[in-house]
Structure 1
Amino acid sequence: MTETRPLPSAADVSLDAVDDRLSSEQSWPGLRRFMRNRPAVLGSLFMLLMICIMAFWPWLVPYPEDVADAVNFDRMLERPSAEFWLGTDEAGRDILTRIMAGTGMSLGLGLVVITCAICVGVPVGMIAGYYGGWTERIIMRLVDVFSSVPALVLALAISVLLGPSLVNAMIALSVVWWRVFARIAHGQMLSLKTEPYVAIVRQMGASDGHILFREILPNMASAILVTASLDAGAVILIGTSISFLGAGANPPAAEWGLMVASGRAYLPGAWWPSLFPGLAIFFTVMSLNMIGDGLRDYFSGE
C-alpha cells in the first residue's frame, strides 16, 4: 500500500510562507552584504558607542556635578584643553560631561517617538488597507491632513500649546510621526492582502485579527524596521530643533539642542559650546541614516 500524506493546513501554508520570507531576508548572504557596507557598519559602531554612553554615563563623565545647574565662574568659556577636552560653557560646566549626559535624552526621544508612532500608525494603516472602502478613505484623508503640514511646524505648534518640556516634545512628535508608518503599513497591506496564503487562511475561518497581526504583519516587518531606522535620525533632529527654538527641554537640562541654543550667544569668539553639541547631533543622525541604508540593502537583497 502506498502511504498517504495529509494535505498541509492553511496555518502551515501561512507559517511556511512567513518562515521562507524571513529566512531569505535574514540569511548569511544578507549579513555579509550588510558587513560589506562600510558606512552601515561604521554607523552601527557609533550607535553602539552612544548606547553604552547612554547606559553608563553616570560612571563615565569626568565632572558629574556639571550635568545640572552648577556654576563655576572661575572657568567660564574655557577653550578645549587637557583638563576640559571640549571646553566649558557660559556657566563653566564641562561640555563633554553635558554631551554624554544628554545622549540619553536625544536617543530616548527618538526611541519613544518611533515606538509610539509604530504602535499607532501601523495598525491604523493596516486596517485602512485591509478593509478598504469608507474606512480607507476616512483614515487616509486624515493621514493627508497631517502630512500637509511640515513635521517641524506641526510638532512645534503642538509643543508650544502643551508647554515647553521634553515630554511634551515627545508627545508632539508622536502625534506628527504616526502618519509615516500609517502610509507604509497601508501600502504594504494593499500588496500583501492579495497573497494566496491570506486567502487560504480566510477560507479556513481565521479572524481578521489573526490575519492582520499573525499572518500579514510579520511580512511587513522589514519595511517597518527600515523606515524606523531612517526616521529615527529625523525625529532626533526635529526634537533637538524644538529644544533649540525654546519649546522643548528646559534649562539646565543637558539636551543637545538646548546646548547649541545657549552657546550661540557667544559666537564667533567662543565657538565650542555650540559646535560640539551640534557635531553630536550630526553624527548621531548620520549614523542612523547609514544604518537604515544598510538595513534596506540587507532586506532587499541588493
Structure 2
Amino acid sequence: MTRLPDASRGEGTIAALDSELSEVLSFGGLRRFLRNKPAVFGSLCLLILCFVMMAWPWLVPYPDDIADAVNFDRMLEPPSSEFLFGTDEAGRDILSRVMAGTGMSLGLGLVVIAVAVVIGVPLGMVAGYYGGAVERVIMRVVDVFSSVPALVLALAISVLLGPSLVNAMIALSIVWWRVFARIAHGQTLSLKNEAYVNIARQMGASDRHILFREILPNMASSILVTASLDAGAVILIGTSISFLGAGANPPAAEWGLMVASGRNYLPGAWWPSLFPGLAIFVTVMSLNMIGDGLRDFFAGE
C-alpha cells in the first residue's frame, strides 16, 4: 500500500520544497542558470556592489568627503587621475561618495522588500484561503493602494512623515506590500484546492499549518522572482524620492540626492550627476537581469 504523506508534519510540501531547492542548488541547476548570460552578468555586478557596500570604509580614497567636508580649492574638478569621478560643488570626491551611497540604496531595497513580503504575503494568503468578508476587506484595501501610482503615494507619505531616508523606507514599505498581497492571494486561490492540501485538511491539519507549511512553500519561487524584479523598482523610486527632496537629507551620500545636487551645474559640469546616475542604472539593471534569470530558471526554460 502506498503511504500517504503525513500532513501533520508537512511531508508532502516539504519534500516538494526540498526537491525544488535541491534542483536550484545542484550542479545541473547552477549550470542551467549560468547559461543565462544576462543573469550571470547581473549577478556579477550585484556581487561587486555588495562587496563595495560592505567594504567601502576601507576602499574610499577620501573618507572625509563622505559627510559635510568643504574643499573650495578643488570645486567641480573634472575626472582625472587624482579624482576618477571628479569633484562636486563642495570639492568632495564623487567616487568616494558614490561608493558610500551603495549601502544606502541596496539597504533601502532590501529593507523595503523584506517588510513588504512579511506584511503582504500573509495578508494575501489569508484573503485567498478564507474568502468571504475577509477577502473582500483585504483586497479592497489592496485596490485602494493600487489605485495611486507607487511614486506619487510614496512621495506623499514621505512628505507627511518628514524628509529622511528612514521615512522613505517606511513610505515605500507601506506602498509595496500590496504587490505581494496580490501575488499571494492569487497563488493561494489556485493552490488551496490541490490534492495535497485536501489530504492535509482531511487528516486534521490546522489552517496555520496548511497556509505556512503546505501553500507558502509552493509559491516561494513566484515570491522570489517578484522580489528580485521589484527590488530594482524600489531602489529607483527611493532615489527618485531623494531627488525630489523628500528622502535623504544633505550631506548624505545618497545617489538620488547627488544627482539632484549636480543638476544645477549642467551641462558644463556633467560628472556630479552622471556617475551617481550610472550607479543607479547599473544597480537596477543588475537586479532586473537576475529577476529575469530566476523567472526563466523556475519556468524551466
> TM-score w.r.t. structure 1 length?
0.95
**Does the C-alpha gap of structure 1 residues 12 and 244 become closer, same or farther in structure 2, counting only changes over 3 Å?**
closer
**Does the C-alpha gap of structure 1 residues 23 and 71 become closer, same or farther in structure 2, counting only changes over 3 Å?**
same
Match of 1:15 in 2: 14
Aligned-residue offset at 1:26: 5.2
Mapping for residues 176-215 of structure 1, pairs under 5 Å: 176-215=175-214
Cα distance in 2 for partners of 1:250, 1:19 equals: 45
Match of 2:257 in 1: 258
Match of 1:97 in 2: 96
Task: State the one-letter code of the partner of 1:164.
Answer: P
Cα distance in 1 for partners of 2:204, 2:196 equals: 13
Match of 2:270 in 1: 271
**Does the C-alpha gap of structure 1 residues 5 and 270 become closer, same or farther in structure 2, counting only changes over 3 Å?**
closer
Question: Could you tell me whether the CA contact under 8 Å between 2:165 and 2:247 is conserved in 1?
Answer: yes
Mapping for residues 225-236 of structure 1, pairs under 5 Å: 225-236=224-235
Question: Could you tell me whether the CA contact under 8 Å between 1:256 and 1:277 is conserved in 2?
Answer: yes
Aligned-residue offset at 1:194: 1.3
Task: State the one-letter code of the partner of 2:71.
Answer: N
Match of 1:280 in 2: 279
Secondary structure at 1:249's aligned position in 2?
Answer: coil
Deviations 1:158-216 (A, max 9, x none): 00000000000000000000000001101111111111111111111111111111111
Calculate percent identity across the aligned residue pairs: 80
Cα distance in 1 for partners of 2:39, 2:16 equals: 29
Aligned length: 299
Question: Could you tell me whether the CA contact under 8 Å between 1:21 and 1:219 is conserved in 2?
Answer: no
Cα distance in 1 for partners of 2:236, 2:5 equals: 50
Deviations 1:119-142 (A, max 9, x none): 000000000000011111111111
Aligned-residue offset at 1:25: 5.5
Cα distance in 1 for partners of 2:5, 2:250 equals: 63
Task: State the one-letter code of the partner of 2:280.
Answer: I
Task: State the one-letter code of the partner of 2:190.
Answer: S
**Does the C-alpha gap of structure 1 residues 240 and 42 become closer, same or farther in structure 2, counting only changes over 3 Å?**
same
**Does the C-alpha gap of structure 1 residues 128 and 7 become closer, same or farther in structure 2, counting only changes over 3 Å?**
closer
Deviations 1:65-95 (A, max 9, x none): 0000000000000000000000000000000
Cα distance in 2 for partners of 1:6, 1:240 equals: 54
Matched, 1:301 2:300: yes
Question: Could you tell me whether the CA contact under 8 Å between 2:256 and 2:276 is conserved in 1?
Answer: yes
Cα distance in 1 for partners of 2:229, 2:163 equals: 26
Secondary structure at 2:170's aligned position in 1?
Answer: helix
Deviations 1:214-257 (A, max 9, x none): 11111111000000000000000000000000000000000000
Question: Could you tell me whether the CA contact under 8 Å between 1:78 and 1:89 is conserved in 2?
Answer: yes
Secondary structure at 1:257's aligned position in 2?
Answer: helix
Task: State the one-letter code of the partner of 2:49.
Answer: M
Mapping for residues 234-249 of structure 1, pairs under 5 Å: 234-249=233-248
Cα distance in 2 for partners of 1:177, 1:227 equals: 11
Match of 2:87 in 1: 88
Cα distance in 2 for partners of 1:173, 1:264 equals: 25
Aligned-residue offset at 1:22: 4.3
Task: State the one-letter code of the partner of 2:217.
Answer: P
Cα distance in 2 for partners of 1:107, 1:32 equals: 27
Cα root mean square deviation, aligned: 1.5
Match of 2:110 in 1: 111
Task: State the one-letter code of the partner of 1:116.
Answer: V
Cα distance in 1 for partners of 2:56, 2:116 equals: 28
Secondary structure at 1:205's aligned position in 2?
Answer: coil
